[in-house]
């Protein structure tokens, strides 16, 4: 029977570690998903304004078969330099694709926009290379959610965004699936003016509040009132700027998959964002989902099994979105779910 894993984190998948690093003054951070051994991977990008690095390598027709890590970072395009820090650490460990006497670490990266959240962004050099190095060096099985890593400076509709994770495991078969997400969405994660998350039907064991069913019917349109709860100039600017968004995520499984199957897993996992955020995949978002397969479990993965795996990954990702908001704390003028609804 499928249940959340012992940590209810993506690290319940064998072979996956996660590390976070933040700069409180900058109000930004980086999260790294580290593969203990190189893992098969692909990606699906749905948002209209993505910021990524080395995602073309993940196309099933391209030659690289496995990657070492995935970096998720704040900082918009500046945050892509987090990759350099991750690669430095991996090179020190002797990790990477061998090319003659050289090993080249493979670290696909995606970023979110948090430049207008009121933090100190007047840097001489962006801090993300160092944050990437610190994050991968800190990678382990346990990690913080909410105002952590890439989710530190994030917003989500009218609420403080954040970093979230969830998992599902089957003790009988050994199947493991997990999701990690940094939520900085233009859309809303809760049902209109109510505290219930769009992910509410998928909640496991009260993992985001255990609220009762929503009491009212839902309007066909959710009004966009991002700035109403903000009293911080930086956060208000972010709320009013339609470019300041993006939800970036990683789903992982211990099943052995090839790149084409990983690609299908990433495509299906994107439905988790659609179940948890409204609206999603807009022209202002850069929504991107990576899929990793660590290959620790050999199972027959026919098309039906891949479809079931993709559905499970989407459910995990939807739960992870709600957990990101549930665990986030108020930062500046970005009010948390708890401060907004638990008065």
- DSSP structure string for 38-71: EEEEEEEE-SSS--EES-GGGSTTSS---EEEEE
Residues 140 and 165: their CA atoms lie apart, in Å, by: 14
Find the mean pLDDT for residues 87-97: 96
pLDDT exceeds cutoff 70 at 80? yes
Over its C-alpha atoms, the chain yields an Rg (Å, rounded) of: 19
Q: Do 121 and 115 contact (CB within 8 A), yes or no?
A: yes
Average pLDDT value over all residues in the chain:
91
Q: Do 285 and 49 contact (CB within 8 A), yes or no?
A: yes
- CA 281 vs CA 150, 211, 222, 285, 287: distances in Å: 19, 27, 16, 6, 6
- Predicted confidence at residue 218, as pLDDT, reads 66
Find the mean pLDDT for residues 81-98: 96
pLDDT exceeds cutoff 80 at 117? yes
What's the pLDDT band for 343 if we cut at 50, 70, 90?
low
CB atoms within 10 A of CB 168: 23
Find the mean pLDDT for residues 171-190: 95
Residues 21 and 134: their CA atoms lie apart, in Å, by: 6
Residues 309 and 175: their CA atoms lie apart, in Å, by: 9
Sign of CA dihedral 157, 160, 162, 164: negative
Find the mean pLDDT for residues 106-111: 97
- Predicted confidence at residue 220, as pLDDT, reads 54
pLDDT exceeds cutoff 50 at 340? yes
Q: Do 96 and 90 contact (CB within 8 A), yes or no?
A: yes
Give the pLDDT confidence of 129-159 residue by residue, as tens digits: 999 999 999 999 999 999 999 999 999 998 9
Q: Do 230 and 164 contact (CB within 8 A), yes or no?
A: no
Return the closest-CA partner of residue 322 out of 234, 199, 169, 151. 199
Class of residue 180 by CB neighbours under 10 A (exposed 0-12, middle 13-18, buried 19+): buried
Give the pLDDT confidence of 20-52 residue by residue, as tens digits: 999 999 999 999 999 999 999 999 998 888 999
Helix (H, G, I), strand (E, B), or coil: what is residue 158?
coil
- Predicted confidence at residue 221, as pLDDT, reads 54
- Predicted confidence at residue 241, as pLDDT, reads 52
pLDDT exceeds cutoff 90 at 223? no
Token pair 């944050």: residue? 131
pLDDT exceeds cutoff 50 at 230? no
What's the pLDDT band for 215 if we cut at 50, 70, 90?
confident
Give the pLDDT confidence of 155-173 residue by residue, as tens digits: 999 899 999 999 999 999 9
Residues 100 and 62: their CA atoms lie apart, in Å, by: 20
Per the document, the length of the chain is 343
- Predicted confidence at residue 226, as pLDDT, reads 42
Q: Fold for 2-341, please state it.
A: 3.60.70
* Domain residue spans of the chain: 2-341
């Amino acid at each position: 029977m499928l249940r959340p894993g012992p940590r209810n984190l993506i690290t319940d998948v064998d072979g996956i570690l996660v590390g976070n690093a933040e700069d409180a003054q900058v109000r930004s951070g980086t999260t790294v998903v580290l593969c203990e051994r190189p893992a098969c991977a692909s990606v699906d990008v749905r948002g209209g304004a993505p910021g990524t690095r080395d995602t073309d390598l993940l196309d099933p027709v391209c030659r690289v078969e496995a990657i070492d890590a995935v970096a998720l970072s704040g900082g918009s395009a500046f945050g892509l330099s987090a990759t350099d820090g991750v690669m430095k650490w991996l090179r020190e460990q002797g990790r990477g694709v061998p090319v003659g006497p050289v090993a080249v670490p493979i670290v696909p990266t995606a970023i979110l926009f948090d430049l207008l959240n009121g933090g100190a962004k007047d840097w001489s050099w962006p801090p993300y290379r160092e944050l990437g190095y610190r994050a991968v060096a800190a990678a382990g099985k346990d990690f913080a959610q909410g105002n952590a890593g890439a989710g530190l400076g994030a917003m989500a509709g009218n609420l403080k965004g954040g970093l979230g994770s969830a998992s599902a495991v089957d003790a009988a078969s050994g199947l493991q699936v997990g999701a990690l997400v940094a939520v900085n969405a233009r859309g809303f994660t809760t049902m209109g003016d109510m505290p219930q998350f769009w992910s509410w039907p998928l909640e496991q064991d009260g993992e985001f509040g255990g609220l009762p069913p929503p009491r009212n019917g839902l309007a066909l349109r959710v009004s966009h009132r991002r700035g109403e709860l903000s009293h911080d100039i930086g956060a208000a600017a972010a709320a009013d700027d339609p470019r300041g968004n993006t939800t970036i995520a990683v789903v992982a499984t211990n099943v052995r998959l090839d790149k084409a199957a990983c690609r299908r897993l990433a495509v299906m996992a994107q439905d988790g964002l659609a179940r948890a955020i409204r609206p999603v995949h807009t022209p202002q978002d850069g929504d991107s989902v990576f899929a990793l397969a660590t290959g620790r479990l050999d199972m027959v993965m026919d098309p039906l099994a891949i479809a079931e795996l993709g559905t499970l990954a989407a459910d995990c990702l939807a739960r992870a979105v709600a957990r990101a908001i549930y665990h986030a704390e108020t930062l500046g003028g970005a009010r948390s779910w708890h401060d907004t609804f638990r008065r």
